[in-house]
Amino acid sequence: MKEHTFFQQKALLLAVATAFGLAACGGGNSAENNQNTAPVSTEAAEKQEIVINNGAEPESLDPHKVSGVPESGILRQILVGLTSTDNDGNTVPGMAEKWESADNKVWKFTLRDAKWSNGDPVTAEDFAYSFRRVTDPATASPYASYLADAKVLNAAKIIEGKAKPDSLGVKAVDAKTLEITLEEPVPYFPDMLIHTSVKPVHKATVEKFGDKWTSPANIVVNGPYTVKTWDVNSQIVLERNPNYFDDANTTITKATLLPISSPPTDMSRFKAGEVDVTYNDIPTEQFKSLQQEMGGQMKVAPYLCSYYYEFNHTKPPFNDVKVRKALQLTLDRETMVDKVIGRGETAAYQFTPPAAQGMKEFVPEWKSWDKAKRIEEAKKLLAEAGYSESKPLNFELLYNTNENHKKNAVAAAALWKEALGFVNVNLVNQEWKTYLDTRRNQKHQMARGGWCADYNEASTFLNTFKSDNSSNYGKYQSAEFDNLILKTLSGDVTPEQRGELYSQAEAVMDKDAATIFVFHYVNARLVKPYVDGYSTKDPMDNWQIKNWKILKH
């Protein structure tokens, strides 16, 4: 379902002014409304059950057919890859108890004794099958290029249809030993294996049930939880998997995950005691009041995640770099983060969050220009592209249904209108699954995008803009950019040189106005005081229920 809303200049400016005012409001500090962290027992509660808002209805529970944060939030609880993360985001053993490589090209992973939920042993062949499946064009995985980015032997050729899936550089040496061969040395390869797309699936179950293998009656998993029920657009209930290798150290027995996409509704249900952990998207207009009202129940932490407005490079008007550059120059990021959002986000002038490992920060020259100079240059570029008061620039901006994304889109449209005059933005919202499909098939002109780290290294961001990357929904194409990213994995490149190459790649994207980078996120959510073990130290927000327990309250 689409909702089209056309905003005239006056309405836009009124809307953005309202947004600014809301973001600046405080309040909520009266004694009767104060819900600061109440003292709770240090003893575990008898009933170990939790309700979590996961933010959206998942498009699938097949790890090889998804790309979103809500999907990963569920799959992290039911499937374990070769490597995993601890409660603070550090890479730790998963199904592999150890790994080694003499040259960062040929890697040997030794699997632990572990079982699937149906009692079958987890084997090296399970991973070989799963890796082949994610690269097989027949799977049509939105993350098909992930193993190509990791330089797994023949992955790129398989994706292009130039090699068979069984030629992928993965081999089950025996039941407990998996050998993975890369085309180039990748020192951070084990870190990449924490991601959803490289989690294993149970071959016999997939082959028996096809697309129905993820239904609760059929699903077989190897993680701490399995799927008990799935009521579409209502809830997914997880229960403990007694065959999980570390079940003895798991406490919570039942987890209910909700698909609430409305941040205000999420907050209301938290206050009503119906949600124990909210999604990490606190309403911007409530943020400051909730900080005062909720005290220690609000958890704010760094987050390796970037918010952007994606151009569709395949059709007008954004196949013209002059149009893209004009909008890039005139989006006032500081106003967005300070007055529209106001949760501690930082303005983005590059795609990769500067805190990501391996990154050398890039700062564009135009960042130092004052507003008047940016507007002057933008109007000149639009005039050269054929736009004027008599021929205004009209385009659609797509966002997934969510009050915060709507507010950001209204503000962006108003800022462009205020700066340039002859720019009219038609705002379009779609539900999560439809929105993803629209972007993947290039049916949009401009779209709200967000990218969160798959692992803590700059390449997890920059790889997505490679010409052949399956996550490059805007279809940005640059041989110069591609070559710089390719050089980062040359055998003789030092970490410092790699960081410099990343910075140069950011400079190319800036020159081409590949996308409008808006801000780098913070991770903010509400957590009940009786949820013990929640960490604010993981910059990837890879929370895992198995690390938590419920205290008496």
Q: What is the CATH number of domain 302-522?
A: 3.10.105.10
Which amino acid, one-letter code, is at 112? Answer: R
Task: Look at residue 182 and give its three-state secondary structure.
Answer: strand
Provide the token pair at 385: 């592209």
Q: Rounded to two decimals, what is the model's pTM?
A: 0.87
Percent of the chain scoring above 70 in pLDDT: 93
Give the integer Cα–Cα distance in Å for 276 and 550: 10
Cβ atoms of 448 and 408 within 8 Å: the answer is yes
Task: Enumerate the H helices of 194-244 as residue ranges.
Answer: 203-209
Q: Which residue has the tokens 């129905």?
A: 212
* Ranges of each domain in the chain: 49-263+527-550, 302-522
For domain 49-263+527-550, give its CATH number from 3.20.20.80, 3.40.640.10, 2.60.120.10, 3.90.76.10: 3.90.76.10
Provide the token pair at 52: 């979590």
Measured N-to-C along each axis, helices 403-420 and 9-24 cross at an angle, to the nearest 10 degrees, of: 130
Going by pLDDT thresholds of 50, 70 and 90, the confidence category of residue 296 is: very high
Cβ atoms of 540 and 85 within 8 Å: the answer is yes
The dihedral sign for the CA sequence 249, 251, 256, 260: negative
* Region 403-423 average pLDDT: 97
pLDDT digits (tens, 9 = 90+) for 76-98: 999 999 999 999 999 999 999 99
**What is 338-367 written as a DSSP string?**
IIII-SS-EE-SSSS-TTSTT------GGG
> Any idea what DSSP says for residue 89?
S
Supply the pLDDT for residue 275: 98
pLDDT digits (tens, 9 = 90+) for 122-135: 999 999 999 999 99
Supply the pLDDT for residue 253: 98
Using alpha carbons, select from 541, 517, 544 the residue that is nearest to residue 533.
Answer: 544
The separation between CA 210 and the C-alpha centre of its own chain, rounded to angstroms, equals 27
pLDDT at 22 over 80: no
Going by pLDDT thresholds of 50, 70 and 90, the confidence category of residue 32 is: very low
Beta bridge partners of 3: 429
How many Cα atoms sit within 13 Å of 184 on the Cβ side? 18
Query: Which residues lie closer than 8 Å to 223 by C-beta, 6 or more apart?
Result: 76, 77, 78, 79, 80, 241, 244
Cβ atoms of 361 and 510 within 8 Å: the answer is no
> Both ends of the chain: CA-CA distance in Å?
42
Give the integer Cα–Cα distance in Å for 392 and 142: 36
Q: Which residue has the tokens 């106005």?
A: 513
> Any idea what DSSP says for residue 529?
T
Cβ atoms of 75 and 54 within 8 Å: the answer is no
pLDDT digits (tens, 9 = 90+) for 450-491: 999 999 999 999 999 999 999 999 999 999 999 999 999 988
Supply the pLDDT for residue 11: 45
**What is 298-336 written as a DSSP string?**
EEEEEEEEEEEEEE-TTSTTTTSHHHHHHHHHH--HHHI
* Region 282-288 average pLDDT: 93
Using alpha carbons, select from 230, 229, 226 the residue that is nearest to residue 240.
Answer: 226
pLDDT digits (tens, 9 = 90+) for 208-265: 999 999 999 999 999 999 999 999 999 999 999 999 999 999 999 999 999 999 999 9
Provide the token pair at 129: 């099958």
pLDDT at 20 over 70: no
